Amino acid sequence: EAQVTQNPRYLITVTGKKLTVTCSQNMNHEYMSWYRQDPGLGLRQIYYSMNVEVTDKGDVPEGYKVSRKEKRNFPLILESPSPNQTSLYFCASSPPNRGEQFFGPGTRLTVL
């Protein structure tokens, strides 16, 4: 089944404790992206990747890192999480030419 998977789905952590949220897609898509969703703000793009080893900042990249070493994986790294990063995070992938994005199920992160 074609899908985008994220792990973990739920995470509660404390300020400053490094964490990684994994994202994997099995559709051989070049484009992958991370978003955070906050009430009243919609989804905001954190980082995106056009292909392996090619990443770029979205609108809210501060406090986040990403890497794209393999086409199928695009992990999101929070080196020192803070409470303002408490949010619902979505990973998405897309074929070329600004096509439809396929979204993962979301990761709900709480930073205490």
In eight-state DSSP terms, residue 85 is G
Strands (E), 14-63: 19-25, 31-38, 42-51, 54-57
Report the side by side order of strands in the sheet with 76-78. Answer: 4-7, 19-25, 76-78, 65-66
Residue 59's nearest CA partner among 35, 78, 38, 75 is 35
Shortest distance in whole angstroms from residue 103 CB to another protein: 4
31 in contact with another protein (CB under 8 A) = yes
74 in contact with another protein (CB under 8 A) = no
How many CA atoms does the CB half-sphere of 97 hold within 13 Å?
0
Size of the site for another protein (CB under 8 A): 26
Which residue's CB is nearer to another protein, number 59 or number 79?
59
Shortest distance in whole angstroms from residue 46 CB to another protein: 11
95 in contact with another protein (CB under 8 A) = no
Binding site for another protein (CB under 8 A): 31, 33, 35, 40-45, 48, 50, 56, 58-59, 90, 92, 94, 97-101, 103-106
